[in-house]
A and B are shown apart, each in its own frame.
Chain A
Amino acid sequence: KAGVTQTPRYLIKTRGQQVTLSCSPISGHRSVSWYQQTPGQGLQFLFEYFSETQRNKGNFPGRFSGRQFSNSRSEMNVSTLELGDSALYLCASSSGIRTGGVGTFGSGTRLTVV
């Protein structure tokens, strides 16, 4: 069974640009969650999508958005990049059934904003 695939693995962008990251979940999983990991703030929840609908949202500005497609693949977009957006972005996929199934994480996309 293939794991969670995040693309690209590494990305360098310039301040003010926008970026789109992709997450392909494990086959059959309907929930995708996104997390941001930085040295200063640690691991923080961005949002969760389940069956193409945003089910939960963290405390991030509107520049951070996401979507999920009918095949459960998810993308997250960050517009007007700031230096502080440099981070490892992780996604996790799960069945979406809320019984403690936390899902499987991908290897992440490391975004560097210069």
Chain B
Amino acid sequence: AQSVTQLDSQVPVFEEAPVELRCNYSSSVSVYLFWYVQYPNQGLQLLLKYLSGSTLVESINGFEAEFNKSQTSFHLRKPSVHISDTAEYFCAVMETSGSRLTFGEGTQLTVNP
């Protein structure tokens, strides 16, 4: 079984400031790692994923995450946030042989002007 812990339930930041949303996971088998974003009254949108290869993965809108196997972490970072980044962010894992996502509790990112 897998579990995911998002270390901060809420992260308030000012516009143009850097942000890091922390995610740790636990699993006895190999997993894929994901970050999703959810805007109010909407479904989940895939932000980025780590399947294999380079441990640093990037999204098209400036977010990046680094897979750290020894620390079992997959923290999400952005060097400069915008008001439009305000949303809830979910970290998730999936067994490499499976299809079920296990999610963390979510982190509400609020970007203030």
Contacts and interface: CB of A to CB of B under 8 A. Distances in A.
Contact of B100 (A48, A96, A99, A100): A48
A31 B43 contact: no
A107 B45 CA distance: 10
Contacts, number: 60
A31 B99 contact: yes
B32 A56 contact: no
Contacts of A107: 41-43
Interface residues of A, number: 25
A87 interface: no
A108 B43 contact: yes
B97 A105 contact: no
Nearest to B34: A102
B44 A55 contact: no
Interface of B: 32, 34, 36, 41-46, 49, 51, 90, 92, 94, 96-106
13 contacts: A33-B99, A33-B100, A43-B103, A56-B99, A58-B100, A98-B98, A100-B96, A102-B46, A104-B46, A105-B44, A105-B45, A107-B42, A108-B43
Given A33-B101, A56-B100, 12 more contacts: A33-B99, A35-B101, A42-B106, A43-B103, A43-B106, A48-B99, A58-B100, A90-B44, A98-B99, A100-B51, A102-B32, A108-B42
